Amino acid sequence: MKTSPLDRLVLSEHLREMLCCVDLVFPESRDHLLELAYLETDKDLVEVAYDVPGKGRVVEATVGRCKNGAAVNYVEPYMRRRDPDAMVIADDRPTDKPHWNNRFKQPFEEVRQETFRWFREDVGRLIVLPFLSGDKKRGYPTLLIAPENAGFFVAGLADLQGFFTADEIPENFEPRAVIYLAPPFRHTHFDGKQVVVHNRLPGMHELFAYNLYPGPSAKKGVYGILLSIGEEEDWVTLHSSAVRVVTPYDNEFVIMHEGASGGGKSEMTQQLHREPDGRIRLAHNTITGDDIYFELLDPCELEPVTDDMALAHPSIQTSTTGRLMIEDAEAGWFLRVDHLNEYGKEPAIEKLCINPPEPLIFLNLEGKPGSTILPWEHIQDEPGKPCPNPRVIMPRHFIDKVVDDPVAVDVRSFGVRTPPSTKKNPNYGIIGMMHILPPALAWLWRLVAPRGHANPSIVTTEGLTSEGVGSYWPFATGKKVTQANLLLKVTQETPGTPYVLIPNQYIGAYKVGFQPEWILREYMARRGSVKFRPEQLIESRCPLLGYSMERLKVAGQLMPAGLLHVHEQPEVGIKGYDAGQKILADFFKKEVSQFLTDDLDPLGRKIIDVCMNDGTLQDYIKVFNS
C-alpha cells in the first residue's frame, strides 16, 4: 500500500502536529512548482501579498508570467539584495555572530511559537518541499515549509538545491534541518528588515526566514546549514567556483578559485573577453593610455564544476596524490547578471536565459507578462539607477558540459580585487599577475579574505575590508577560530594541491579587469601544473605575496615584466610598491590577530606569529614544515 507523503517523513511531535492541522501541498513536478509561483491562477501578473496587522494588505512582490520564465520583482528596492546583517543566532551554542538576546527584547521562543501559530491558523495551505542540503548523494535531509502564495520562493529553492516530488520522497525521510518561511514577520516584528534566525538544536538546525528574498535563506541560509553541520563533523564547504579546463591537446586540469565577493569566482568559469575585432586587451595603462594586447587563437574548453559552493566532504577525499577532492553542493546557480548590460557580453548565458530548456526564475529584471525577459534589462531602483543585483536561478543541468562527479583539484587559486596603485597614489594594488603561495601563506589569505576595490556586491564599505574567514564567514553560524582550524586541516591533508594568488581589476597602474585569471587559466592548464624549478621563481618583494614568476610566457608571448613585478613599473617604482606593501601588511596584522585565542591550532598560531613579526617568505615555509 502506497503511503502518503506526510507519512514518509520522520518528524518531531510539534512539527507533525502543526502539519496535521493544515492543508499541505507537496510539489509533484517542476512544472507544478512553476504553477505555484503563479499562485496557480491564469493571470499573467500576480501579487504576493500578506495581511499585516496595523498595515493592511502589504504587497511584497509581483510575479509575471513571461515566455522564458517568471519575472519576480520586489516592491521595495531594499528587498532586492541580501542584507548583510540579516543573520541572527538564537541558540546557546558557541558563536561569534550577533545573538538574538542582544538584538531583540522579546525571547526567541515566544517568536518561534508565534511563527508556528501563524502557520497553523493564518496561512491556509502550506507548501512542504523535501530536499537535500548539499550534494544529491551526500546531502542532508531538509524541509522547507512555506505559505502557498510564496511559490516562486519554493520554486527557486528547488532549482538551487533540487527536491523530491511527492512520489519520490524516501521512506523514513528524517530532516536534519527545517527552513520556516514567514514573510509578514518582517513587518510585525523586525521594522521591515530582513532577519534570518538560525536555531541549532541537538540533531536539528532550524532556520526561520522572515523575508522573501532567497539570498539569506534559500541560498546562503542553506550554506550556513552546511557549514554548521561541517563544524560538528569536521569538514567544510568552500566558497569557490571550480572548472575543469580541457586543453587543445585534450589534457584536463581542474582549477578551484576562491575569494571574497568580487574576487572572480563566477568569472573563472566564463570564456575570456575579446575586443570587437577579436583581440584580447590584456592591460590598459591608466597613466600613459597605452594598451597591451594578447593573442590566443585556440582557447581551452571549459567544463564548469561549481559556481559558489564546493563540498569538501570526507567521504569524497579519495585522491591518492594528496589532491583536494570537491563536488558541487548545489543543484542550481544563483547567477548575478549585472555585468550583462547589452547584447553579446556572455553569449552562452544570454542564450540560456532567453531560450532556456525550461522556464526559469528571474529576479530584479524587467519582465512584462507575455514577453521574453532579457538579462540586460535590469529593473530600476529609482529613475536612472538600475538595480545592482539582477539574478537568474539556473539549474546546473541546463549548463553545457557541466561536471557532475567529484573532481581532484590541481590548483587552488585565490582572487583579490585590487585598486590602481602608483607612486603618486600608492595603494595595495601591488599584486603581480600571478604569485605562487606556500601553504602557510595560502591559509593566511583565506583567513583575511580581502573584499577589495570597487566591490559590486558590497556598496556600504570602502577601501580594504575583510569578508571574514574562508570568505564564507557571512554565512557561518559558529566561531571564527573553528573555521580557521578546519581550513588549516584541509591545507595539511591535501599537500598535492598547490596555491596561486591572482589579482583582478588593476595591477599597479594597469587596468586589467579579469584578464589575468582567464589568461593564467590557459597557462596553467596547458602547462599541466604550477610546479616550477627554483630558477623560474623569485621571492616577492612583499613576503605576503610568496613567489613571483621570473618570467611568464603564454601561448608563445612573454608577459610584460611590470605585470609580474609591479615595482618595475615606472609609474609605481620601489617607493610606491613599499607604501602599498605596508598597507597590505598592516591590514593582515589587524585581521589575523583576532584568531589568537586558546582554541587556535598550535600550527596556526605559529603562522600568525610569523605574520605579526614581519617574517620572511622562508619563515612561512619553515614554520609549516617544522
Lowest-confidence segment of 85-89, 136-140, 480-484 by average pLDDT: 136-140
The pLDDT of residue 460? 43
> Distance (Å, rounded) from C-alpha 350 to C-alpha 270?
12
**Residues 360-372: tens digit of each pLDDT:** 999 999 999 999 9
**DSSP label at residue 461:** -
Say if residues 423 and 429 touch (Cβ distance below 8 Å): no
- The C-alpha atoms of residue 360 and residue 614 are separated, in whole angstroms, by 51
Band of pLDDT at residue 455, cut at 50, 70 and 90: low
Q: Identify the pLDDT of residue 541.
A: 97
* Alpha carbon distance 63, 462 (integer Å): 35
Amino acid at 113: Q
Cα angle 449, 97, 205; round to 5: 105
Mean of the pLDDT values across residues 274-292? 94
Beta strand pairing call for 236-246 and 252-258: antiparallel
Report residue 458's pLDDT band, with 50, 70 and 90 as the boundaries.
Answer: very low
User: How large is the average pLDDT for residues 362-386?
Assistant: 96
Task: Indicate if the pLDDT at residue 447 is higher than 60.
Answer: yes
The per-residue pLDDT for 496 is 97
What residue has cell string 607604501? 579
Quote the radius of gyration of the chain (alpha carbons, Å): 25
Helix axes 602-612, 439-448, angle to 10 degrees: 80
In degrees and rounded to multiples of 5, residue 23 shows phi and psi of: -75, 135
Residues 6+ apart with CB under 8 A from 170: 8, 164
pLDDT at 464 over 90: no
Place of cell 493592511: 56
Mean pLDDT of all residues belonging to the chain: 95
Cell of 67: 515566455
User: Per-residue confidence at 454, pLDDT binned at 50, 70, 90?
Assistant: low
Q: Give the whole-angstrom CA distance, residue 173 versus residue 11.
A: 9
CA 295, CA 81: separation in Å to the nearest integer? 38
Give the residue from 504, 576, 530 showing the smallest Cα distance to 273. 504
Using the Cα atoms of residue 623, residue 582, residue 503 and residue 553 in order, give the sign of their dihedral: negative
Distance (Å, whole) CA 355 – CA 163: 24
Question: What letter does residue 170 receive in the DSSP assignment?
Answer: P
Q: Could you tell me the domains of the chain? A: 6-36+84-233 (3.40.449.10), 237-318+406-625 (3.90.228.20)
Q: Percent of the chain at pLDDT above 70?
A: 98
| Angle, CA 366 vertex, CA 360 and CA 369 arms, to 5° | 70
459 pLDDT above the threshold of 60: no
Gap between the Cα atoms of 204 and 222, Å rounded? 13
Q: How many C-beta neighbours within 10 Å does residue 73 have?
A: 18
Segments in 326-452 forming alpha helices (H): 347-354, 439-448
Is pTM beyond 0.85 here?
yes
pLDDT (mean) for 373-379: 97
Q: Which of 348, 336, 345 is nearest to 304 (CA)?
A: 348
Q: Buried b vs exposed e over 199-230: b needs ≥16 C-beta within 10 Å? A: bbeeeebbbbbbbbbbbbbbbbbbbbbbbbbb
Three-class secondary structure assignment of 533-550: CHHHEEECCCHHHCEEEC
pLDDT at 461 over 50: no
Tens digits of residue pLDDT in 389-435 = 999 999 999 999 999 999 999 999 999 999 999 999 999 999 999 99
Cα-Cα-Cα-Cα torsion 573, 579, 585, 587, nearest 10 degrees, comes to -130
Alpha carbons 216 and 82: distance in angstroms, whole number: 6
What separation in angstroms does the CA of 299 have from each of 274, 556, 557? 12, 13, 14
CA distance 555 to 282: 14
Determine the residue type at 512.
Answer: V
Pairwise CA distance, residues 250 & 300, whole Å: 9
DSSP string, 498-558: -EEEEEEEEETTEEEETHHHHHHHHHHHHH------GGGEEE-SSGGG-EEES--EETTEE
Q: What are phi and psi of 262, to 5 degrees?
A: 85, 0
Burial of 162 (C-beta count, 10 Å sphere; 0-12/13-18/19+): buried
pLDDT value for 598: 97
Tell me the pLDDT tens digit for each residue of 235-280: 999 999 999 999 999 999 999 999 998 899 999 999 998 888 889 9
Do 415 and 258 contact (CB within 8 A), yes or no? yes
Q: How confident is the model at residue 157 (pLDDT cuts 50, 70, 90)?
A: very high
Residue 117's Cβ-count burial label (10 Å; 0-12, 13-18, 19+) is exposed
Label residue 462 by pLDDT band (50, 70, 90): low
CA distance 424 to 441: 29
Which residues, including other chains, have CB under 8 Å from residue 103's CB and lie 6 or more apart? 88
Mean pLDDT of 544-554: 96
CA distance 618 to 604: 16
Q: How many other β-carbons are positioned within 10 Å of the β-carbon of residue 541? A: 17
CA-nearest of 103, 502, 438 to 268 is 502
CA 476, 478, 482, 484 dihedral sign is positive
Q: Is 478 in a helix, a strand, or coil?
A: coil
Helix (H, G, I), strand (E, B) or coil at 579: helix
User: Beta partners for 9?
Assistant: 173
What letter does residue 2 receive in the DSSP assignment? P
Output phi, psi for 285, to 5 deg: -75, 115
3-state DSSP assignment of residue 145: strand
Q: Are 69 and 156 in contact (CB under 8 A)?
A: no
